[in-house]
Structure 1
Amino acid sequence: MEGGGGGTLSEVHQSAKKLLLRCRDGLERLERLEHSTSTSTAVSGVDSELSFTVKKDINQIQSLCVEMDRLWRSVAAKPQRDLWKRKVEQIAEEAESLKESLDKYNSRSQKRSREAKERAELLGRMNGDSAHVLRIYDDDTQAMNSVRSSARELENANAIGEAILSSIHGQRERLKSAHRKALDVLNTVGISNRVLRLIERRNRVDQWVKYAGMLLTVVFLLAFVLWRR
């Protein structure tokens, strides 16, 4: 321990000032490390060790202040005693200020460590939830694929049904057309038969007229011959 008990007031004061300088330097290093370290990173071993060293030095300074407070009271001359009193109080105030700064740093450090731990736990839960979500997504994807497959099969079946209906409709139209043609043929045959019967009747009438004319002609010729005699 620098400037341990048993020294003069001046020696103890010098030891306290050296410790103050070392504490200030340590706190500055801690602040630089804090600003250069990501907020998501926990306190490193170097930070913890340096923080512990600074805290130890501050405690040592406060112990030296207690010793100096005892020593300055034994100074005979009042002016010198008042001077040492102010010096000791100044050292004590600086030590208290350094202690407050270190406590604030440690509070921030603990907060960063806690937040880092919470983020790690949250990330672990998120990874587990992500796996669960992926399983759900896979199940949903399989279900959607099954639905799409069923929809395609229904569309194919519908297309086949429409093709069959279209074929039946075409066959029905062809049957109707053939039926109309058959009726037309039958009607045409019926008309032809009537025409043939009329022609045959006309031929018979013509034959009768021809025979009657021939008979009348013969009768007329015979009558004319007989009359000439």
Structure 2
Amino acid sequence: MEGGGGTLSEIHQTARKLLLKTRDGLERLERLEYSNSSSSSSDLSFAVSKDITQIQSLCVEMNRISRSIAAKSQRDLWNRKVEQIAEEAESLRESLDKYNSRNQNRMTEAKERAELLGRANGNSSHVLRIYDEEAQAMQSVRSSARELENANALGETILSSIHGQRERLKSAQRKALDVLNTVGISNRVLRLIERRNCVDQWIKYAGMILTIIFLFAFVLWRR
């Protein structure tokens, strides 16, 4: 039960550690949600998104390896373990998306307030620039997260395609062996038929010769 990144147990342990790290990152994000550390929250949000994508990739790898387990009971057990981790990762992804949505709404509201204040006192360029920078940072985080998700989806598609091709090659190999076995049997049957035909020919010729000798002897005896 080994894959390119280690045994199934090792990959599962790595995924569990990443889950704990991601939960801790989300808790830190929630603590920073109403603080002024926009740069720290943007970097942390990107790191959390990257960890979630890595967990999902590990789930794909574990699914691939678990298919090679011969015992159905063990295979089902690992499938349940992988499914549990995948569900937790998806839950973390949803929590992160909700956080990003709240943060974006909060920045939009703050920008609108700054614009209103700017109209009142005519000096809001600095405030607006700060909120624009925050909005750009969050947009960059969301774009990077989407790219990671797309890369992960592409990896899943490639792995699934490779597995499908391998199964098709195995099926073709089995069919080829069946054909070869059938041809071998057919050749043996043909050889048996040829030998039988040869024996039948000899019997026919021997019968003809015996019949001629019998007739010749009968004619001589009548004389």
TM-score (structure 1 length as normaliser): 0.50
Q: Which amino acid aligns with 1:12?
A: I
The answer for the alignment partner of 1:66 in structure 2 is 60
The answer for the alignment partner of 2:142 in structure 1 is none
* Shift in Å, 1:97: 0.1
The answer for the alignment partner of 2:43 in structure 1 is 49
The answer for the alignment partner of 2:164 in structure 1 is none
Q: Any idea what SS the aligned residue of 1:74 has? A: coil
Give the total of aligned pairs: 121
- In 2, Cα distance between equivalents of 1:44 and 1:6: 35
The answer for the alignment partner of 1:21 in structure 2 is 20
- In 1, Cα distance between equivalents of 2:6 and 2:109: 47
Identity %, equivalent residues: 76
C-alpha distance 108-21 of structure 1, shift in aligned 2 (>3 A):
same
- In 2, Cα distance between equivalents of 1:106 and 1:26: 13
* Shift in Å, 1:6: 2.6
Tell me, yes or no, if the aligned pair for 1:23 and 1:54 is still in contact at 8 Å. Answer: yes
1:25-36 map, 5 Å = 25-34=24-33, 36=34
C-alpha distance 105-13 of structure 1, shift in aligned 2 (>3 A):
same
The RMSD of aligned alpha carbons is 1.8
User: Any gaps of 5 or more consecutive residues in structure 2?
Assistant: 124-223
Superposition misfits of 4+ residues, deviation over 3 angstroms: none
Alignment partner for residue 118 of structure 1, among 112, 121, 127? 112
1:67-216 map, 5 Å = 67-128=61-122
- In 2, Cα distance between equivalents of 1:11 and 1:109: 36
The answer for the alignment partner of 1:12 in structure 2 is 11
Which stretch shows the higher mean deviation, 5-14 or 93-102? 5-14
- In 2, Cα distance between equivalents of 1:88 and 1:102: 21
Q: Which has the higher contact order (CA 8 A, sep 6+)?
A: 2
Q: Which has the larger radius of gyration?
A: 1
Q: Any idea what SS the aligned residue of 1:76 has? A: coil
Tell me, yes or no, if the aligned pair for 1:5 and 1:12 is still in contact at 8 Å. Answer: no
- In 2, Cα distance between equivalents of 1:72 and 1:17: 17
Q: Which amino acid aligns with 2:110?
A: A
* Shift in Å, 1:5: 4.3
- In 2, Cα distance between equivalents of 1:5 and 1:93: 23
